[in-house]
């Protein structure tokens, strides 16, 4: 194999016909890391990957691989392996020839012949014995394994994967993403993976960068991205979430008002750790699985234990197999709860959640 390299992008900006596609993107990918770029269509993921590969020249900023600045180096001199969404296998070549094509610029690593290397790689992706087949006769999943073998054949320092699973059906996608992750772990190769699927990103990555509109919104391990979204965008894009607009009504103790109330009833306020600046508008988030539905008896104890309770009405219930997704209405707003119960809830309910599960979103 090649050496394992870190990848650093510093202040990368790219524009197409004067329209910015990336604005000051800085990322540090560690040696051996599985790093995923996730975001909606058109946010700049592919452009970021193409900039690392050398297919795109940034207008400003630097890219280094293994500590070496590679801006200006053509793709074939960067020792990166690339897999695209659409396989990009040559139909007139056998599977073996397709994998060997990966060695057109480089000799196989170690003292092995091309033939031995191709056999090694076919074995690695569980396709031994398929060398003589035509790619066209293979399933999408098999074709993508061949594309992976071809990219890995020269022993690249970095593996770049651009939506490699998005042409496959859901079940195969889930299977193959585990294959890719296992392979990456076994080889210890630095990998940058692009997807628009946030669940896929969370499932397989060491760290994730959420990109929106050509900018990095947040970088972190999947758990941190999910549990502590830094921005409104991340909170909405990653998983289901409840977002509340509110106003800071007191800093000590820190409390946020969720509604202004009326002449007859005071507004609802909840404790939120870390808020300051009375009068400031803030956005709070709480995950549906942190919201429970409690009965009358539990309501007293939930309140006494410091949980927050809201009186809501169930509007729609979806059965998900492992849980019910319960859409509720509270003060004209929709609130989503994900609950494990034997029966679907209905009518008037009390929703309860802990203050520790409320996240204060700070806009960048
Ligand atoms: N060669 C190009 N010429 C003009 N505009 C481009 C070019 N490549 C990308 N863009 C534009 O740059 C922006 C970012 O595109 P990019 O392909 O990087 O996004 P993406 O996040 O990978 O999206 P997708 O998931 O749809 O591939 C988009 O607005 C796109 O239309």
Q: Each residue of 223-263: pLDDT tens digit?
A: 999 999 999 999 999 999 999 889 999 988 889 998 777 77
Select from 39, 36, 24 the least CA-distant residue to 236.
Answer: 39
- What share of the chain has pLDDT > 90, as a percent? 71
Q: Is the CB of 51 under 6 A from ligand 1?
A: no
Residue among 44, 84, 166 to mutate when testing ligand 1 (max atoms within 8 A of CB): 44
CA distance 164 to 87: 8
- ipTM topping 0.90: yes
231, 361 Cβ separation under 8 angstroms: yes
CA distance 278 to 235: 24
SS3 category, 248: strand
Domains of the chain (ranges; CATH) run 7-236 (3.40.50.300), 242-361 (2.40.50.140)
Q: Is the CB of 43 under 6 A from ligand 1?
A: yes
68, 77 Cβ separation under 8 angstroms: no
Averaged pLDDT for residues 278-306? 83
The pLDDT score that the predictor gives to residue 200 is 95
For residue 16, the CA-to-ligand 1 centroid distance in Å is 9
> Residue of the nearest CA to atom 30 in ligand 1?
42
> Residue of the nearest CA to atom 28 in ligand 1?
42
Q: Which residues pair with 330 in a beta bridge?
A: 333
Confidence of residue 364 (pLDDT cuts 50, 70, 90): very low
Give this prediction's pTM: 0.90
CA distance 254 to 101: 63
């Amino acid at each position: 194999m090649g050496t394992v390299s870190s990848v650093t992008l510093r202040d990368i900006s790219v524009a197409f016909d004067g329209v910015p596609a990336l604005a000051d993107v800085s990322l540090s990918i560690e040696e051996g890391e599985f790093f995923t770029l996730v975001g909606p269509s058109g946010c700049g993921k592919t452009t970021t990957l193409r900039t690392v590969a050398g297919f795109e020249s940034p207008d400003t900023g630097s890219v280094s691989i293994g500590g070496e600045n590679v801006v200006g180096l053509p793709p074939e001199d960067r020792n990166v392996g690339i897999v695209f969404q659409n396989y990009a296998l040559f139909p007139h070549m056998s599977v073996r020839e397709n994998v060997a094509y990966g060695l057109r610029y480089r000799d196989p690593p170690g003292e092995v012949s091309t033939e031995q290397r191709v056999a090694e790689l076919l074995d690695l992706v569980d396709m031994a014995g398929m060398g003589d087949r035509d790619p066209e006769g293979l399933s999408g999943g098999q074709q993508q394994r061949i594309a992976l073998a071809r990219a890995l054949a020269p022993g690249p320092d970095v593996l770049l994967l651009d939506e490699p699973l998005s042409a496959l059906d859901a079940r195969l996608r889930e299977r193959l993403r585990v294959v890719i992750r296992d392979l990456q772990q076994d080889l210890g190769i630095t990998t940058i993976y692009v997807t628009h699927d946030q669940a896929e990103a969370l499932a397989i990555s060491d760290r994730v960068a959420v990109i929106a509109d050509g900018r990095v919104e947040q970088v972190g391990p999947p758990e941190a991205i999910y549990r502590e979204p830094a921005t409104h965008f991340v909170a909405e894009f990653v998983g289901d979430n409840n977002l509340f607009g509110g106003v800071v009504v007191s800093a000590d103790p820190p409390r946020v008002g969720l509604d202004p109330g009326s002449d007859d009833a005071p507004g609802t306020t909840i404790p939120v750790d870390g808020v300051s600046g009375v009068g400031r508008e803030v956005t709070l988030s709480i995950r549906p699985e942190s919201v429970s539905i409690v009965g009358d008896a539990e309501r007293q104890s939930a309140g006494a234990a410091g949980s927050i309770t809201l009186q809501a009405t169930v509007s729609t219930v979806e059965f998900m197999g492992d849980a019910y997704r319960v859409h509720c209405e509270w003060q004209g707003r929709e609130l989503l709860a994900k609950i494990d119960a034997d029966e679907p809830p209905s009518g008037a309910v009390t929703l309860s959640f802990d203050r520790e599960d409320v996240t204060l979103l700070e806009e960048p």
